[in-house]
Structure 1
Amino acid sequence: MGNADCCRIDLDNGDQILIDYAAMRDPACKDDLRIDLPSELRKDLDSCKRDSYKVVMFTHLDDDHIRGTSNFFYLRHAQKYQGQVDGKSRIKMDEMWVPAAVITEEGCTEEDRIIRQEARYRLKEGTGIRVFSRPEELKNWLEGEGLSVADRRSLITDAGQLVPGWLAEIQGVEFFVHSPFACRTDDGSYVERNDGCLVLHATFSADGTKTRVFFGADIRQEPLSEIVRITRSKNREERLESDIVKIPHHSSYLSLGPDKGTTKTKPTEDIAYFYEKKLLWRATLISTSKPIPTNDDDPQPPHRQAANYYREQADAQGGTYIVTMENPKASSPETLVIEITGSKAKQKKSYSAGLVSAVSQPAPRAGNGD
């Protein structure tokens, strides 16, 4: 997918969760090595005889997390997004998860506006959506629609909480919310301190063994540092422990520290604590990005200095640093699949269909591990 995100979680009970959707491949370019995302997702859904996802999350509204959404999904807010695409039915979202910024953001004009309108429609209807923020952040918008926070409180989840309806021991996975979050100021008021993106810590349970995954979206170093500080201050360090980290923002140095560095990015003190103290043995760090460059000609991520830091920390835990467009090699990238079982997480070396990265959680006894 290049510098873009899409992760599918396949649970043992048949539920599927999609985290972001970005169809980046140029079909007119025969040399484009990026995945044909809509085709591969449809192929999998057809094999499962399904036409929907249990949950589709949009961590934020950047193009590399949402491109092509309106040409793939069935959207409730307008009939023009409900008809077939190229003779095929659209894929439904049973529930849509978004940070509050998706609801409140102004100035949206393209795909971001379409997603915003869908999220707003579902929140007004009171069904098929979960919004992440302090409930009060939505107060003005809700009142403008003739609603109150109390009317929709059950659909809003704040940082520091588990997402309702998901428990590792029952559904196979639970989600702890790290961001969006707010901090109390000296005068007792709250100020939002985040990039407006959805950052989650997932705990999978398979045969009594827990595997922990940190989904970092595109969070930058300032709010990530604060996440670490807040989580430690609340004595919830298990919500930082990670067997797998979806590295923020395609291995950009700006998700580690303020300075790129010459050969290796130096993280902030709090981020260093996360990567140097909370990675679990044989941790896997995943960079959803283009191949790591050998020079600094391109200012955009991935940055080789950040990659050097991530690789060093993975090595320190006997783990691996994986770049999706280098997996297994840059000339022929393939879908990255991580299988989670009672033996924790392990990369599957071959996979005939899928997406840029997937986390599957089949119990070994079920024998349905894609």
Structure 2
Amino acid sequence: MGVKIDIIAAAGAFLIDIGDGRSTLVYSKEASSPDLHTDGGPEAMTELHRHLKKSGRDGLATVCITERNACRHFGEVFWLRHSAAYQAPDRIRIDELRVPASLLMEEDARDGDELVRREALFRLRQGKGVLVFCGVPSVRAWVDRHGVDFDRNQHLFVDMAGTGGRNRIADTPTSLPH
């Protein structure tokens, strides 16, 4: 089984084809020059649809958002579970959305950030389809404040501070880049 990595410059993303039928899209501004972030939505959608059609799929196994700057065209490309307004047939489905806790907890959300936040929160409330990378001690308080039962959904959080696996939130103060 071979792994193939494509760079979707218009979206500022890496598309990783695992080789077993699953693909992961990692949004990162490092994947493209900053000027391509401003108008990449339509090009990204075309490129992703081309890849999915070629592979016989209608969605991605995983979309990983690494930072706020990567959220700009999120609402133009993906099928979002939290709102029918983002569920057109030409949108790309996401099995699992992966986001840093810092993106969810930022107070000064922009349009794309807010869509990612709403989608992640919707999935957290459902108890599936999202993975939050933590290390921020106040993530539990944030989750509780937004009506999510933290104890029941610990499996949706990954401890990035190194204190132990997928089910444990860090007790030490650290932060993720945004």
So what's the TM-score if we normalise by structure 1?
Answer: 0.39
Q: Is the CA contact (8 Å cut-off) linking 1:135 and 1:153 kept in structure 2? A: no
Shift in Å at residue 48 of structure 1? Answer: 1.2
Larger radius of gyration: 1
1 CA distance for matches of 2:75 and 2:175?
30
- Alpha-carbon contact 2:74-2:112 (below 8 Å) kept: yes
Q: Where in structure 2 are the equivalents of 1:86-165 lying within 5 Å?
A: 89-134=90-135, 136-159=137-160, 160=162
Deviations 1:304-345 (A, max 9, x none): xxxxxxxxxxxxxxxxxxxxxxxxxxxxxxxxxxxxxxxxxx
Report the Cα distance in structure 1 between the residues aligned to 2:73 and 2:86, rounded to whole angstroms. Answer: 12
| Letter matched to residue 57 of structure 2 | R
What is the aligned residue count?
A: 160
| Contact persistence 1:103–1:116 (CA under 8 A) | yes
Q: For residues 214-293 of structure 1, what are the structure 2 equivalents within 5 Å?
A: none
- 1:151/1:38 CA distance change after superposition, 3 Å: same
- Which residue identity does 2:24 align to in structure 1? I
Distance 1:18 1:50, change over 3 A: same
The equivalences for 1:1-370 within 5 A come to: 1=9, 5-20=12-27, 24=37, 26=39, 36-62=43-69, 65-84=70-89, 89-134=90-135, 136-159=137-160, 160=162, 190-196=172-178
**What is the Cα deviation at residue 93 of structure 1?**
0.4
The 8 Å contact of residues 135 and 172 in structure 2, kept in 1 or not, is answered as no
Distance 1:8 1:162, change over 3 A: farther
Which runs of 5 or more structure 1 residues have no equivalent in the other structure? 28-34, 165-180, 183-188, 197-370
- Unaligned 5+ segments in structure 2 are 1-8, 30-35
Q: Give the CA deviation at 1:193.
A: 4.2
CA deviation vs aligned residue, 1:188-223 (integer Å, no higher than 9, x gap)? x73224424xxxxxxxxxxxxxxxxxxxxxxxxxxx
| TM-score, scaled relative to structure 2 | 0.77
For the aligned residue pairs, the C-alpha RMSD in angstroms reads 2.8
Name the CA distance, whole Å, in 1 between partners of 2:94 and 2:22.
Answer: 12
Q: Deviations over 1:244-295 (max 9, x none)?
A: xxxxxxxxxxxxxxxxxxxxxxxxxxxxxxxxxxxxxxxxxxxxxxxxxxxx
